[in-house]
């Protein structure tokens, strides 16, 4: 009968062949296992009861659906339940049982129907299903095992890799450090060697340069000496020429100067002579007048101070050394004032020689209207030398003079002729 059914199905080409995995696939996936096409149908055995299943249909009016995770679970539920003769199962894991009588099925794509048959189970088919199930289980177990092993292997591998990597890194760092240390040491050695070579090379080159420089310096020195000698000779020539020119110029200038000086001296001598003549004439007139006056008893007489021997004896010294107690002297009718220890400027100086005393010079000055006063220095005076201050502007300027008493400057002047300050 079983054979016939299969033959029939095959001959008619109706539906599809039964699925070997419909009752052995767990969970909702069992719907797809049972119904590879919407019209699939087949058989499965639960505890010696053969169930027929048909895809894409549903029995209306069944009991309230109960939960069944797979086709097999729904079939088992029906097999255990005495009044159950058929059932509907949906891929949404609902199982609805029915009694002996069931209506004509409705077409619903997501359901399949189960019907108990009175057929004897096919041992071969059952065995095949069991074997397949065992095979699948074994396969799945194997896959799980393999996965586990793979994961473990991967973990182990990763750990080993990490360890190896860490070790390698550590070793690498160590090697690098060693290499660096070695390299540094070598580098230092090389540098030292290079430096030593360079130093010795440098020293050698410096010596060579120094030797060359010495030679150059000697050459330069000798060249310099030669040039200097030449220059010196040139300079000597120039200097000789210059000297000779200077000498000539000087000789010319000197002779000119001498001539001019002689002329000047001559002129001065002439002037002095003329002046002396005039003065002698004046003095003679004065003396005559004095004589005449003396004879008549009312002549010009010098003041007592001008006759005081304390001032007159050795007048070059006594007039200013402290022994003479007078400041005012009238000589030849002209009043003079003494100003000791001063040097005098702003007049035209005339040098008078071979006079016998300061009073001699003073008397002479009295007779010359241009004479503002007489100056002297004791050390020169004792040799008869005094100097007359002839007027330029009518003023004489004095400044204190502090020297050795014998070299001290003194002045005796005419207040009515000169403003002295």
Per-residue mark of binding to ligand NAG, 253-292 (x: CB under 6 A): ----------------------------------------
CB nearer ligand NAG, residue 117 or residue 407: 407
CB nearer ligand NAG, residue 9 or residue 342: 342
Site residues for ligand NAG, 191-220, by CB under 6 A, read none
CB nearer ligand NAG, residue 171 or residue 313: 313
Kindly state the smallest distance separating residue 415's Cβ from ligand NAG, in Å.
17
Per-residue mark of binding to ligand NAG, 394-413 (x: CB under 6 A): -----------x--x-----
Cα(125)–Cα(231) distance, integer angstroms: 141
The region of 60-68, 177-185, 188-196, 308-316 touching ligand NAG under the rule CB under 6 A is 308-316
Cα(44)–Cα(30) distance, integer angstroms: 12
Do residues 82 and 97 lie in contact, with contact meaning Cβ atoms separated by under 8 Å?
no
Cα(96)–Cα(60) distance, integer angstroms: 9
Do residues 395 and 418 lie in contact, with contact meaning Cβ atoms separated by under 8 Å?
yes
CB nearer ligand NAG, residue 133 or residue 340: 340
Residue nearest to ligand NAG as judged by C-beta position? 340
Kindly state the smallest distance separating residue 322's Cβ from ligand NAG, in Å.
4
CB nearer ligand NAG, residue 33 or residue 377: 377
Kindly state the smallest distance separating residue 404's Cβ from ligand NAG, in Å.
8
Which is it for strands 395-400 and 419-420: parallel, antiparallel or unpaired?
Answer: parallel
CB nearer ligand NAG, residue 63 or residue 308: 308
Kindly state the smallest distance separating residue 319's Cβ from ligand NAG, in Å.
8
Kindly state the smallest distance separating residue 240's Cβ from ligand NAG, in Å.
54
The region of 72-80, 148-156, 307-315, 366-374 touching ligand NAG under the rule CB under 6 A is 307-315
- DSSP letter at 100 equals S
Cα(24)–Cα(343) distance, integer angstroms: 160
Kindly state the smallest distance separating residue 342's Cβ from ligand NAG, in Å.
10
Cα(253)–Cα(247) distance, integer angstroms: 9
| Half-sphere exposure (Cβ direction) of 15: Cα atoms closer than 13 Å | 19
| Nearest of 334, 342, 399 to residue 371 by alpha carbon | 334
How many other CB atoms are there within 10 angstroms of residue 72's CB atom?
22
Count of chain residues binding ligand NAG (CB under 6 A): 9
Cα(134)–Cα(124) distance, integer angstroms: 15
| Half-sphere exposure (Cβ direction) of 251: Cα atoms closer than 13 Å | 6
- DSSP letter at 52 equals E
Site residues for ligand NAG, 309-368, by CB under 6 A, read 309-310, 313, 320, 322, 340-341
How many other CB atoms are there within 10 angstroms of residue 380's CB atom?
16
Query: Which residues of this chain interact with ligand NAG, rule CB under 6 A?
Result: 309-310, 313, 320, 322, 340-341, 405, 408
């Amino acid at each position: 009968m079983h054979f016939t059914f299969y033959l029939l199905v095959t001959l008619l080409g109706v539906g599809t062949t039964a699925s070997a995995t419909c009752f052995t696939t767990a969970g909702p996936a069992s719907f797809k296992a049972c119904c590879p096409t919407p019209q699939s149908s087949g058989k499965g055995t639960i505890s010696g009861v053969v169930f027929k299943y048909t895809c894409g249909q549903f029995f209306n009016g069944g009991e309230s659906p109960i939960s069944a995770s797979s086709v097999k679970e729904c079939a088992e539920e029906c097999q255990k339940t005495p009044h159950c003769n058929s059932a509907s199962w949906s891929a949404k894991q609902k199982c609805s049982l029915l009694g002996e009588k069931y209506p004509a099925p409705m077409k619903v794509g997501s359901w399949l129907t189960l019907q108990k048959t009175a057929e004897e189970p096919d041992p071969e088919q059952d065995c095949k299903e069991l074997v397949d199930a065992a095979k699948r289980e074994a396969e799945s177990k194997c896959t799980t095992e393999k996965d586990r092993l793979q994961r473990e292997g991967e973990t182990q591998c990763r750990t080993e890799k990490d360890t190896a990597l860490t070790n390698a890194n550590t070793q690498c760092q160590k090697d690098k450090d060693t290499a660096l240390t070695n390299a540094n040491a070598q580098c230092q050695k090389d540098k030292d060697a290079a430096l030593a070579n360079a130093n010795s090379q440098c020293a050698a080159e410096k010596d060579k340069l120094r030797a060359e420089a010495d030679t150059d310096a000697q050459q330069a020195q000798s060249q310099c000496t030669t040039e200097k000698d030449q220059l010196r000779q040139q300079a000597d020539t120039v200097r000789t020429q210059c000297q000779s020119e200077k000498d000539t110029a000087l000789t010319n200038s000197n002779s000119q100067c001498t001539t001019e000086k002689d002329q000047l001296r001559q002129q001065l001598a002439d002037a002095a002579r003329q002046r002396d003549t005039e003065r002698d004439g004046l003095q003679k007139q004065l003396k005559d007048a004095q004589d005449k006056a003396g004879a008549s008893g009312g002549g010009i007489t010098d003041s007592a101070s001008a006759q005081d021997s304390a001032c007159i004896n050795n007048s070059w010294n006594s007039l200013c050394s402290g022994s003479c107690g007078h400041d005012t002297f009238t000589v030849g009718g002209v009043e003079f004032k003494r100003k000791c220890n001063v040097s005098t400027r702003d007049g035209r100086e005339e040098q008078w020689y071979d006079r016998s005393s300061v009073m001699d010079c003073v008397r002479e000055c009295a007779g010359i209207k241009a004479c503002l006063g007489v100056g002297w220095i004791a050390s020169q005076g004792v040799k008869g030398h005094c100097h007359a201050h002839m007027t330029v502007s009518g003023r004489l300027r004095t400044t204190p003079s502090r020297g050795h008493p014998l070299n001290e400057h003194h002045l005796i002047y005419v207040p009515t002729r000169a403003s002295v300050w």
